[in-house]
Structure 1
Amino acid sequence: MSEKTPRLERLRSVREWLVWQLRRTDETIAELERLEAAADRAARTQPPAPPGWKLAMQRPGGRPTPDAVHTSDCGMTGTHTKPLTREQALRAITEEGITACPYCRPDTDLGVL
């Protein structure tokens, strides 16, 4: 603004800009609060994370027997699986002699080489 503009007019212009800026700030705060509340609701309603490992079961003669340990995201498991905790998967590979899937390599994730 030039020096010829009266001081009162300049102050009113600044005030209008500040009111506009405050309104935009309030809208941004409200939007961020809505997003945060939605994220909190989603986090509370999410199902628990699946176990990190699963045991594929064979059904020779109709009786299920353990076949191989897989990571939870392996697509080579077939239809019959049982979820395993880390400790169960580790025990299955090291103590029970169940093989580890050669594709997803759960033994590497478990630290068994």
Structure 2
Amino acid sequence: MSDGSISRLDKLRALQEWLDWQLRQTRGRIRELEAQERQQEEQRARERSERGKPRVEERRRGERRPRIPDWGIDDIGVGTPRSEVHRGDCFAAGKRLRAISREQALAALVDGAPPCGVCRPDTALGAP
């Protein structure tokens, strides 16, 4: 070993120091990402509480669910002026269902709004 070459043991110790440094870097990055996730979850919780709408699992005992309308109208597509008439309990209505009265549902059907093919409000309303 007097020829000035680095011993195998010295090489392994250098490698170990580098791997220790890499592990510290990785653990630090994990802590940063975990902190970011906690902040994002806290932000989402604040936004939910600001909206005032508790999630289904957050509802308290005795709290009533919103009333299901008897009839509703739903915009069928993006950029189309057409609307589709539904019964209020129709599973195919989607999230955009607006509650309407029986008379408004009949008027919409007479004006040419198509009835939902699933819940068939025209049959239930007795519309022509």
Report the TM-score range of the alignment, normalised by the length of the smaller protein.
0.3 to 0.5
TM-score by length of 2: 0.43
TM-score by length of 1: 0.48
- The structure with the greater share of residues assigned to strand is 1
Relative contact order higher in (CA < 8 Å, ≥ 6 apart) = 1
